[in-house]
Amino acid sequence: MRLLPVIALLAACEPPERAPCAVDSDPLLELTPSGVPFGTFVDGDEAYYGPPPQGGAPYSPVDLRVSGLEDMDKGVLIELSAVDVDSGEDLGSLSYPTRLVCANVGDSAGNWLANDVHHRFYGWELDELPGRLMALTVAVTDQTDQRLETSFEAVLVQMD
């Protein structure tokens, strides 16, 4: 008998007005170095890089926030490429399929997140990168081939 009031209470609850991460907003891709809140990074600020924990080419972690694309729960393709702004040298590129996480709380609620996406500096040594002004471009493509692209410029600083 105690279960009846709980069931009545649940039945009286209204469903949310929109599903989390519903596709009802304009497409948007935001990019920031990991650990930097979205919307606070300014071109020319520092971005950290270092040796990845698993070894291999140096990396620089970034975070992505995405909205307005279709079927992101089924996965996306992330592409990263970087160049040295001053010399024009290629600082590496890579692409890989992945899944994003739907945020349902906080400043990112209603958006898809990819935390700690790793740009890799293939062919570069740690001591060749500090002080370089890097232009990093990131693209996210959904299952319907809709593509969003954004970039930032950052001065590379080696992690401690």
DSSP state of 117: E
- The string of pLDDT tens digits covering residues 89-118 is 999 999 999 999 999 888 888 899 997 799
- What is the pLDDT, as a whole number, of residue 54? 87
- Judged by average pLDDT, the poorest of 18-22, 30-34, 84-88, 105-109 is 18-22
Q: Which domain holds residue 115?
A: 3-158
d(CA 68, CA 146) in angstroms, rounded, equals 10
Tally the domains of the chain: 1
Q: What is the CATH number of the domain that holds 118?
A: 2.60.40.2550
pTM score: 0.84
24-38, 83-97, 142-156: which has the minimum mean pLDDT?
24-38
